[in-house]
Chain A
């Protein structure tokens, strides 16, 4: 982990200069599943919207597979010694897709006005911000109230998409008519959306990086059935299957085809982490011995190998090994049914029924729930599967109506952005499926989480998070399962599709097709 607080200037030119070998032209057909409800990224941030709108809108920064920031709208940046002042120099000559000039005022408007109102995840980070100002047209300064370690990670396109001030200022954001035809600064412009069929983006000829993008157009294809998506790739209708668009058991068949490549990279920034919420408030799951027994009862390597066809890693604790400040110096829960039985006997578990809520995201998740039910019943835990649809799952988890419930969440590169929210007591609030849903309440650890977030030195933060991980893993507030891996499958003649930790979301910017 490099020291970020020192005055580091990074220059974009070297990274962006096109190489001679890259060829311009061509069209890319990418699957998007499910169809996004809207492409206005400032209002809607679900996965499909981020995938498509990540080509239209841009943030100040993007992040490499090593999670280090790279230039996007900002060409360089500087963090003051005390960790309180973040100064961004913006690219010059940037235009909105409607021809208007992009300036620092757009950034101030987006972060301070628009997204503060509409973007729940960013709002939490903006709590640390004292002021956002634009001293001149190409400079933006974020002044913090207190140091916030992960602040440099909040400038990604899905986290802080910059929206045009000249279109949204003074309007009702949610009902602005321009939401249907999004205007961004990105490498591709919105062209057409045939609902139920496809979204068509075309090259932004005026993009501010010379030579980019290489592709002429991108079609995002809406194909609702997983088997049909696999067929679409087989027959050559589509060129790219972003992670998670086909069922896992179809992946080997597709990757064995000629001229087909796949990569697990491109998810480092998100680091999807899967676990089961264990209701810490009532029933057997409120007993730490029961929760530990669940961990020992599960054969997570088998689950990974069979249910996920070998994709992913067994999670050691709350932080993904891909996220900054990960530590593996924790109690390891191997598959140990005897130990699980001992723990259950010690607490006097009487066979009370445990309701398990699977994630209604397709066949893989259903099978996963069945595999875990089998593991748990082997040590005598009486599990019933409580099936529902996506809306029902959201309702039940956010209203705490479950004993065990599957979920997976993104970590956004830093424990203070995507991990602590699930374990600190101030985030115990009904109504959201993404906060401290399990009801884990440990004031001592809460203090440590808060302190770790506001430390400036990465070394200090690492030490603090090492300690937190060691302690929390013994408490098993939730049953950690796997660091998920969603392979992206594509034709091998598509080059540079996945070059960052954000993957296909901003992939078409640099992608090119070998003729």
Chain B
């Protein structure tokens, strides 16, 4: 019951937060120089007053800013994200079109980084001070410190250009007419490089955090007690140490999960992955206001949603938290 009330109150706060974010985004965007009419006119390679005025009128930019803001907020409240005049399509359609590709990429990266990160962290903690531990921590440090962009380019260079093992970019083989399993395999092949590239950073973070946290907890009194009871090493590690050590990892996983929608701009760009990050970036360059605001809002909603999910996961992992609240 307390959980239910807590969730409801969190949801109410979340709605207010989202509204505030929408207003803030709107103001920030309109403060940037240029507008979609100017960009479109610029791209046309020729423009006159008539053209710009026509475009502004069509886009509703000829109205005072507060009227535009009012209309936008009124739309959001009715779950209407507006219309992209640049792409001649409702924003919600544009986002829905790109969402599957992005989620496939980010969720794969999420799962890979979380499982491998924790597993490697546990392994490293168990072998603390040994060569294999040093090797793992060094590797993790390397992945942690390498810029994503560079890593992506190197991955393409090695696995795509030199070795020719994996496709270097794209979502699937264009014009291949694959269907069913063949298509799934084709997409999987295209997925490997971007997902690994995107996942490596967080994998390194999870690993280092799990390791440090495991080592810290392993000196606690209840671990000594467990040992004294005669429990085996693996059981102690799993049931006593890991369960207590995992909380900071959950916090961080919540943060990463919040980026599932909007956090892969660089990876999507380098690997020509047709996802939402690119939609956002390209819309920003074109000042396609409604589309950017729509992507921002969906991303913000994801962050808030996963914050709530993280809190719930805390209570499951460590029931003491629920009792205190």
| A interface residues with partner B (beta carbon < 8 Å) | 27, 29, 34-35, 37-38, 44-47, 120-121, 123-124, 174-175, 179-180, 194-198, 200, 217, 219, 221-225, 227-228, 231-232, 234-235, 237, 388-396, 398, 409-410, 421, 429, 431-435
Contacts and interface: CB of A to CB of B under 8 A. Distances in A.
B297 interface: no
B38 A196 contact: no
Contacts of A433: 41-42, 47
Given A429-B49, A432-B47, A224 B33 contact: no
24 contacts: A35-B282, A44-B44, A45-B44, A46-B43, A121-B45, A123-B50, A194-B274, A196-B273, A196-B275, A197-B170, A231-B168, A235-B160, A235-B164, A390-B34, A390-B42, A391-B33, A391-B286, A392-B32, A394-B42, A396-B33, A431-B38, A432-B41, A432-B47, A433-B47
Interface string B44-75: 11111111100000100000000000000000
Nearest to B55: A174
Given A391-B35, A394-B42, A228 B270 contact: yes
Nearest to B288: A37
A458 B167 CA distance: 55
A224 B272 contact: yes
A432 B87 contact: no
Contacts of B282: 34-35, 224
Contact of B52 (A27, A46, A388, A432): A432
Given A121-B44, A395-B33, A225 B270 contact: yes
B168 A232 contact: yes
A409 B58 CA distance: 27
Contact of B48 (A34, A197, A234, A432): A432
B48 A429 contact: yes
B269 interface: yes
Given A391-B287, A410-B45, A217 B175 contact: yes
A232 B173 CA distance: 12
A361 B145 CA distance: 29
Interface string B277-306: 011001001110000000000000000000
Contacts of A222: 272, 274
B86 A37 contact: yes
Nearest to A197: B274
Given A225-B272, A392-B34, A45 B174 contact: no
Nearest to A175: B88
A41 to B, nearest CB: 11
A37 to B, nearest CB: 5
A195 B97 contact: yes
Contacts of A223: 169-170, 272
Nearest to A431: B52
A406 B33 CA distance: 18
A343 to B, nearest CB: 33
10 A-B pairs closest in CB distance? A196-B274, A391-B34, A121-B46, A46-B43, A394-B42, A395-B34, A432-B47, A392-B33, A395-B33, A120-B51
A179 B33 contact: no
Interface in B129-186: 153, 156-157, 160-161, 164, 167-171, 174-175
Contacts, number: 166
A223 B38 CA distance: 25
Nearest to B93: A195
A175 B282 CA distance: 22
B240 interface: no
B285 A389 contact: yes
Given A195-B274, A196-B275, A433-B42, A388 B175 contact: no
Contacts of B48: 120, 123-124, 429, 432, 435
Given A44-B43, A232-B272, 15 more contacts: A37-B87, A46-B44, A120-B46, A180-B89, A217-B175, A223-B169, A223-B170, A227-B153, A235-B160, A390-B285, A390-B286, A391-B34, A395-B38, A431-B41, A434-B47
A399 to B, nearest CB: 9
Contacts of A175: 88
A37 B34 contact: no
Contacts of B94: 195
Contact of A29 (B46, B51, B160, B174): B174
A288 to B, nearest CB: 28
Contacts of A44: 40, 43-44
A485 B24 CA distance: 44
Interface string B245-286: 000000000000000000000000111111100110010011
A231 B34 CA distance: 33
A45 B279 contact: no
B98 to A, nearest CB: 6
B236 interface: no
A434 B46 contact: yes
Contact of A198 (B33, B38, B174, B269): B174
Given A174-B58, A195-B97, A394-B39, A200 B175 contact: yes
Contacts of B58: 174
A435 B51 CA distance: 13
B45 A46 contact: yes
B278 to A, nearest CB: 6
Contacts of A227: 153, 270
A120 B170 CA distance: 36
Contacts of A410: 45
Nearest to B274: A196
B168 A195 contact: no
B175 A228 contact: no
Contacts of A120: 41, 44, 46-48, 50-51
A35 B97 CA distance: 16
Contact of A228 (B39, B52, B156): B156
Contacts of B287: 391
Given A34-B282, A174-B58, A392-B34, A219 B45 contact: no
A238 B17 CA distance: 46
B88 A179 contact: yes
Contacts of B33: 388, 391-392, 395-396
Given A37-B286, A45-B45, A434-B45, A231 B169 contact: yes
A432 B58 CA distance: 18
A35 B278 CA distance: 11
Given A121-B46, A197-B170, A224 B278 contact: yes
Nearest to A360: B285
